[in-house]
Amino acid sequence: MGEETPQDGLSSRIARLVHTHFDALPARSKPIVRDDGTREWIPMAGMVVVRGENTTEEELTCVAVTSGAKCLAASQLPNCKGLVLHDWHAEVLALRAFNYWVLSEVRGLLLGEEQAAATTQSSSPSPSRFIRRRSPQQQQQQHPDQPPFELHPDLKVYMCCTCAPCGDASMELTMAAQEDPTPWAEDPSPSEPVSLSYPPAPEEPNPTHTTTSKPPTAALSSTSNPHTSTTVATTPPTTTTDPSSSAPTKPPPTNLLDGRGHFSKLGIVRRKPARADADSTKSKSCSDKLALRQVSSLLSPETALLVRVTASAYLAGVVLPETEISGVGCERAFGREGRMKGLVGGYLAPSLSSSSGGREVGGEEQRGLETQEDGKEEEEEEEGDASGYRFHPFDILPIPAALADSLWQYGKPRDSPQTASTSTMKYKPGTISAVWVAAPSVGADRLVVLGPASGAKQLPKLAGSRTGLYESIIGGVKQGSKASAPVVRGASALSRARMWGTFREVVLDFQKNLARQDGRVKHEDGLSRGDDGRLRQIVEAATYVDFKRAIVTSTKPGQARARALREAKTVLVPWVPNAGDGDWGLEVLVDANPKKRKR
């Protein structure tokens, strides 16, 4: 792996950091060469928090590294009881891991405050490097119903991936890998989306990007032909709805399309790709889930009850190898001129607004606007939707091909269709997925003691970063467990049940923190006792379905999120719910057959 050079751009620095962490994982968490010579490949993703971007004080922190390429069939969900992951593609695991890290950071901050309050000397708790309490003035004068914590405003969050996200953003790449990339000709039925005719993919579908002079938004609006020196302008295919009219051009589709098929239909929601003979899944593609996060933020519904949705809670960019970037595909899937266009300028979402106020802002200009002094940034944010939910399109940042190839040895081979059909080497997706999450910046010692099953004892540090969570996943559960008979000992910390349990622990710590206050009607953070009790009622819901419903019906942040999701799903169609795993409660976290301690 090459050493970092002064010429490295932000994308290269992020990529090196993420790969350094993955390389340091134990061999049991990585793809292998099987006994028959088959080589395993796996996608990998990492979450990096950048403080003081492009300043002399710039600091990059890798907070999560994940790998994976599989998901559950819809028929298996009723047996999960919240203890089995539904989708462990690397990008989805990274999103869940980020929320785990945010909750642990909040809990670490609370434990630090508790420890400071217990000391006889007058001392202030160590501040978190990433999370802060909202000041009483902010909470009282602006929006007292908003959560008491928020990410520091000088933070930006990036996701680094080794391959293009499955789904709409990678359709051109998928087409180019076929022996015949010509779209299949079909006559759409009235219940299907419009068939968007699209020319055969170019021989080299990936443009050459730079991060210096050309803004990412401009780079994504063109496709370069490697055999000529010209740049051919492209127009993203239209979506199935017209944002300027009140009626869709075609009735919205009701079924998810296969992840890799129907190349002539672009700009629509797809399910995860799978073998043709496999049971179907309702897990949406990574492209679709990332597109939705441009509106809902990186924060999960429960995390957003404690941490306010601000600009720092959205993805600033996705870092990809330049050979894994289709400019037209990324613009269509994520950009202002693609399928999300209806959310720009309030066409479909009067309660939402673009992060640029409906104006087209290039990457460098936008970054400049977002790095203004904290006070002005917060003041401008308050002028919009008080919830903080907006359409925040992220940038696509390329990693130079030579660097990407030198960093990653576990990728799927990129042979041409002709070479792939005659190759004797066999490749299959890996069966083991890795999950690593950094320990919180405060209170880590106590949290490690509180969570002995976190894996931190097996892997105390990774590339110099303290471990908060380390797991190896097979079939949606921890290695050594069975998804067909799930038990709490085998459940990933990122599973539905365990994440609910983690959120409950944070809420209980928060309530203990409030109990130390002097009994005023309004606490120092502005949260009323009615809100305090409401949080307790939410986490003690009878079932997971009730838990999710209570977030929406009982809290203003939950209602704002639900409104934002409804608006986003008017352009992300068809968004078919992945229901079937919600009729259980926190009792599933009680180990019915605990292991006996060895004497």
pLDDT of residue 472 exceeding 80, the answer is yes
**Residues 82-126: pLDDT tens digits?**
999 999 999 999 999 999 999 999 999 998 888 777 775 555 667
Q: Which whole number is the average pLDDT over 351-372?
A: 40
**Residues 49-73: pLDDT tens digits?**
999 998 899 999 999 999 999 999 9
Which pair of structure tokens corresponds to residue 62? 């890798």
Residue 441 confidence (pLDDT): 94
Residue 368 confidence (pLDDT): 39
Q: Which whole number is the average pLDDT over 384-389?
A: 63
Residue 193 confidence (pLDDT): 39
- Give the pTM: 0.81
**Residues 423-469: pLDDT tens digits?**
678 999 999 999 999 999 998 877 765 555 788 888 999 999 999 99
Query: In angstroms, rounded to a whole number, what is the distance separating the alpha carbons of residues 292 and 155?
Result: 21
Residue 119 confidence (pLDDT): 72
Q: CA Rg, the chain, in Å?
A: 24
Q: Sketch the domain layout of the chain as residue ranges.
A: 10-167+203-227+279-588
SS3 content of the chain, % helix, strand, coil (to 5): 35, 15, 50
Q: How confident is the model at residue 197 (pLDDT cuts 50, 70, 90)?
A: very low
Query: In angstroms, rounded to a whole number, what is the distance separating the alpha carbons of residues 92 and 294?
Result: 14
Residue 222 confidence (pLDDT): 33
Provide the H-helix boundaries in 8-157: 10-23, 90-118, 136-141
- In sign, the C-alpha dihedral spanning 13, 404, 224, 158 is negative
Contact indicator for 296, 290 with CB cutoff of 8 Å: no
Query: In angstroms, rounded to a whole number, what is the distance separating the alpha carbons of residues 534 and 526?
Result: 15
Of all residues in the chain, what percent carry a pLDDT higher than 90?
57
Spatial strand order of the sheet with 149-151 comes to 131-133, 149-151, 307-308
pLDDT of residue 190 exceeding 50, the answer is no
Q: How confident is the model at residue 230 (pLDDT cuts 50, 70, 90)?
A: very low
- Identify the residue with better confidence: 414 or 410: 410
**Range 363-368, long-range pairs (CB < 8 A, 24+ positions):** 363/215, 363/216, 363/217, 363/218, 363/395, 364/215, 365/215, 367/53, 367/54
Residues in the chain: 599
Mapped onto helix, strand or coil, the DSSP state of residue 318 is: strand
Residues paired with residue 160 on neighbouring β-strands, in sequence order: 46, 319
Largest Cα–Cα distance of the chain, in whole Å? Answer: 77
Residue 337 confidence (pLDDT): 94
Query: Shortest CA distance to 110 belongs to which of 529, 528, 522, 525?
Result: 525
pLDDT of residue 20 exceeding 70, the answer is yes
Cα-based distances in Å from 231 to 207, 220, 227, 336, 395: 9, 12, 11, 21, 20
Strand 427-429 with 39-41, pairing: parallel
pLDDT of residue 175 exceeding 70, the answer is yes
Residue 568 confidence (pLDDT): 95
**Residues 557-591: pLDDT tens digits?**
999 999 999 999 999 999 999 999 999 999 999 98
Mean pLDDT of the chain: 79
